[in-house]
Amino acid sequence: MDFQFDIFIAAIPSLLRGAVVTAGLALVSICFGAVIGIIGGVCRISRNPVLRYGALVYVTIMRGVPLLVTLMFLYYGLPSAGILLEPFTVAIIALSAVNGAYVTEIVRAGIQSIDPGQMRAARSLGMSYSQAMRRIILPQAIRRVLPPITNESLTLVKNTALVSTITISDLLRSGLEVMTWKANTFSPFAGVALIYLLMTLPLVWLNSVLEKRYRMR
């Protein structure tokens, strides 16, 4: 074991700067992924076949292709087609798209868990489909899907480590740089693991609270 406490302490400032990048990526991607997921979930149950099958194709591709491959394709593949994107932009697009695909299925399942009679009742009161979905169905579905969406957000935070492969100075890449600089593996990566743990614990706690609250209803 090559753990050295002085190297561990010296690595902290660099790791914290990387953690800020990781947190920013995760927060933006979670927000975009939630928006994509809500829209995609509604499209998945739409009567319009174009919307329904379009959403299905999107979900199938994003869930079937590894996130690392998506990152590599956007960062290294698109330039050959004349499309140049900044690494941070590539990371946001890839993380949001993959997260949105999983949230889409979560939202779809949440909507379908609502008694269909509620939609019929809302329509009989004169509401349009979109009004009934917006005012009656989605508010109930969102409460049910919050725990699994929180769990998916936890997964996304950990998956941000893959962006280190496209030259982004996130938490993992910062740890790799310190490892090379100090010629020590254990000490900086003890810090990396600790910071990832501290970043994910609030989401673990929130997921537990939401699950308990939902079971009580």
Cα 211 to Cα 134: distance, rounded to the nearest angstrom: 24
Q: Is 92 helix (H, G, I), strand (E, B) or coil?
A: helix
What local confidence, expressed as pLDDT, does residue 140 receive? 85
- Classify residue 140 by burial, with Cβ atoms within 10 Å: 0-12, 13-18, 19+: middle
Do 154 and 199 form a contact (C-beta atoms < 8 A)? Answer: no
Residue 95 to residues 24, 130, 155, 157: CA-CA distances in angstroms? 12, 29, 11, 10
Could you give all domains of the chain from N- to C-terminal order, each with its CATH number? 5-215 (1.10.3720.10)
Is the pTM value of this prediction over 0.75?
yes
Give rounded-to-5 percent helix, strand, coil for the chain.
85, 0, 15
Token couple for 63:
């869930």
Q: Give the distance, in angstroms, between the CA of residue 136 and the centroid of all CA atoms in the same chain.
A: 26
Mark out the alpha helices in 4-66 (DSSP H runs): 5-44, 49-64
Cα 132 to Cα 73: distance, rounded to the nearest angstrom: 40
Q: What pLDDT tens digit does each residue of the chain (217 aa) get?
A: 577 888 889 899 999 999 999 999 999 999 999 999 999 999 999 889 999 999 999 999 999 999 999 999 999 999 888 888 999 999 999 999 999 999 999 999 999 988 888 888 888 888 888 888 888 888 888 888 988 999 999 999 999 999 999 989 999 999 999 988 888 888 889 999 999 999 999 999 988 888 777 665 5
Nearest to 170 by CA among 192, 148, 153, 150: 192
* CA angle, residues 149, 115, 216, in degrees to nearest 5: 55
